Amino acid sequence: MSNFKVVKFGGSSLADAKQFRKVADIVLADPNRRYVVASAPGKRFSEDTKITDMLYACYAKAAQGEDFSADFSAIEERYNGIISELGLDLSLEKEFVNIKDAFAHRAGRDYAASRGEYLNSIILAAYLKFDFIDPAGYIKFGENGVFDLEKTISLLRPRLEKSEHAVIPGFYGSMPNDTIRTFSRGGSDVTGSIVARAANAEIYENWTDVSGFLICDPRIVDNPEPITTITYRELRELAYMGATVLHEDAIFPVRTAGIPINIRNTNRPEDRGTMIVAESNEASSYVITGIAGKKGLSAINIEKDMMNSELGFGRNVLRALEKNGLNFEHMPSGIDTMSVIVSTDALKPVQQSVLDEIKFRVKPDHLEVEDDLALIAVVGRGMRKARGTAGRIFSALAHAKINVKMIDQGSSELNIIIGVATEDFEAAVKAIYDIFVATQQ
C-alpha cells in the first residue's frame, strides 16, 4: 500500500469559487493528496438547483426537440462565474459548443448528466495545476450495464501511475461501445472509491458539508453528534436505510482492499470526521452507532393459521412479488402472520395483480395492504453486548406516544428495525436519539 490519498469533493464543496478555494487549500496542504475526484457544482443555498438537475432538465427538453438554449445558458453561466471569480485563464466555450451539439443529436441522458462533473473537473484541474483524466476511457461498465471493477483497475491503474497529481470527474464511465454511463445519483462517491482502489491508496477521504457521518439525519435532529468510527457493515445498514451521506455502493471497491474511508467537512477541515473501517475494536461511545430510516412504504400483511407448517409458504408469497417485478425491503414474520414491506410507489401499479397472485398461491385467511409506513433502523455493533436495547426503544417510543407497528431484530444483532406510521417518523427518530445519545451526555 502506498501513502497516497484519494480525495473526493461533493457538490456542495465545489458549488462556487469560494468553495473551490477551500478545496484547493485542503488538497495542496498535503502532497500525498494526489488524486482528486470532483462532483458537479451542487447547491449554493437551500433553494438553489444542482448542476446535475439542471442538466437533466435541459436534456429532457433537447430530447423532446424543444428549445433548450436558455436552460443551457444558465448552466454555462454557473461555470463561467466560477472561472472568472477564480481569475483563471481558461475558456470552456469549445466544450459548451460540443456539448450543445451532442444534446441536439440526443447523445443520451447519462451523457448529459455526466457533463456536470466533466466541466467542473476541467476547472478544478486548471486551478490546482493538476492533470485531468477523463474516466470515460478507464472506468468501464460491462455489456449488461454492471460496473466492471477488474477491467477498470487494469485500465485505470497504469494511467494513474503516469500522473503525479490528477483530477478525475466523478459519477461516470463508459460502456463497451464507449457511450457514457453514469452510476446512480450520488455516484461520485463510487468513483472516489474506485480510484482509491486502483491507486492502492492508504485512505479515501470523502469531503462533504458535514463533519462526518452523524448519528442521525441532521434534518431531523439539530446538531446530532458525529460518529467517530463505524464499520463497513454498520454503514451499509445505515446507507441502505436512507442515510445518504455516502452512496451505498461506495463501500465495495475499497472494502476488499482494506482501505479506510474518512468522511470530512470541507467547511471545517480541522474536524476529524468519521473513519469507516473493516472491523473496529474501539468501543462505540454509545450502545447504538446510528439511526436511519425510510418513508413511503407499504406492508402486505398475510395471515393464515398454521402457515409455518405449510411447506414453501414464504417462497410462494415471494414468487408472487417476483412475478410482478417487485423488490421487498423487509419481511418480518410471526407464527401465523407474515408481512412483506415494499415501496408504495413500486407497489401501486401492480398491487391488484400481486394480491391476486398471493391469494391464488397461498390461499390466506386474511390479506391486506397497509400504506403510509416508515421503517427505522437502529444500528450498532455495541448492541450485541448491551442488554435490553429493544426494550429501551419500545419504552422511548411509548413515552413519546408513538405506536410501534413492528419491531424486528436482525440475526446479526447489528440492527433493530422498527415500523411506525409515516407521520410519526421524525418524532420516532428523535425519541430514539434522545434515549441513547442526548440523555447519555
Residues found near Mg ion in the complex (CB under 5 A): 10, 186
Helix (H) or strand (E) holding 303: strand 290-303
Q: Which window, 9-17, 30-38, 115-123, 196-204, contacts ligand ADP (CB under 6 A)?
A: 9-17
Query: Which residue in 41, 42, 260, 419 binds ligand ADP (CB under 6 A)?
Result: 42
Q: Given the complex with ligand ADP, which of 201 and 241 has the nearer CB atom?
A: 241
Q: Given the complex with ligand ADP, which of 37 and 341 has the nearer CB atom?
A: 37
CB of 117 to ligand ASP, least distance (A): 6
CB of 214 to ligand ADP, least distance (A): 3
Q: 52 contacts which partner out of ligand ADP, ligand ASP, Mg ion, none, CB within 5 to 8 A by kind?
A: ligand ASP
CA distance 124 to 385: 47
Q: One-letter amino acid identity for 74?
A: A
CA distance 206 to 265: 8
Helix (H) or strand (E) holding 235: helix 232-240
Q: Which of residues 227-256 bind ligand ADP (CB under 6 A)?
A: 243-245
Residue nearest to Mg ion (CB): 186
Q: How far is CA 140 from CA 132, 251, 416, in A?
A: 18, 18, 37
Helix (H) or strand (E) holding 274: strand 274-277
Q: How far is CA 313 from CA 109, 338, 360, 361, 369, in A?
A: 42, 10, 12, 9, 18
CB of 112 to ligand ASP, least distance (A): 12
Cell output for 184: 446512480
Q: Given the complex with Mg ion, which of 42 and 224 has the nearer CB atom?
A: 42
Q: Given the complex with ligand ADP, which of 15 and 317 has the nearer CB atom?
A: 15
Q: 185 contacts which partner out of Mg ion, ligand ASP, ligand ADP, none, CB within 5 to 8 A by kind?
A: ligand ASP
Query: Which of 390, 406, 267 is closest to 332 using CA atoms?
Result: 406
Q: Given the complex with Mg ion, which of 163 and 244 has the nearer CB atom?
A: 244
Cell output for 122: 476541467
**Is 123 one of the binding residues for ligand ADP (CB under 6 A)?**
no
Q: 213 contacts which partner out of Mg ion, ligand ASP, ligand ADP, none, CB within 5 to 8 A by kind?
A: ligand ADP
Query: Which residue in 20, 172, 183, 213 binds ligand ADP (CB under 6 A)?
Result: 213
Q: How far is CA 381 from CA 53, 110, 122, 213, 438, in A?
A: 37, 38, 42, 16, 19
Q: Given the complex with ligand ASP, which of 187 and 260 has the nearer CB atom?
A: 187
Answer yes or no: are the C-beta atoms of 300 and 332 closer than 8 Å: no
Cell output for 144: 449488461
Q: 187 contacts which partner out of ligand ADP, Mg ion, ligand ASP, none, CB within 5 to 8 A by kind?
A: ligand ASP
Cell output for 57: 432538465
Q: 274 contacts which partner out of ligand ASP, ligand ADP, Mg ion, none, CB within 5 to 8 A by kind?
A: none
List, in sequence order, the alpha helices (H) in 29-108: 51-63, 69-86, 93-104
Query: Which residue in 209, 234, 237, 249 binds ligand ADP (CB under 6 A)?
Result: 209
Give the dihedral sign, CA 70/75/78/79: negative
The residue count for the chain: 441
**Is 11 one of the binding residues for ligand ADP (CB under 6 A)?**
yes
User: Which positions lie near ligand ASP, rule CB under 6 A?
Assistant: 10-11, 39-40, 50, 52, 116, 170-171, 185-189
Q: What are phi and psi of 279, to 5 degrees?
A: -135, 150
Strand order across the 337-343 sheet: 337-343, 290-303, 366-379, 415-421, 406-409
Q: How many residues of this chain bind ligand ADP (CB under 6 A)? A: 19
Q: Which window, 7-15, 100-108, 122-130, 335-343, contacts ligand ADP (CB under 6 A)?
A: 7-15
Query: Which residue in 90, 134, 218, 421 binds ligand ADP (CB under 6 A)?
Result: 218
CB of 220 to Mg ion, least distance (A): 18
CB of 182 to ligand ASP, least distance (A): 8
* Site for ligand ADP, rule CB under 6 A: 10-13, 39, 42, 186, 208-210, 213-214, 216-219, 243-245
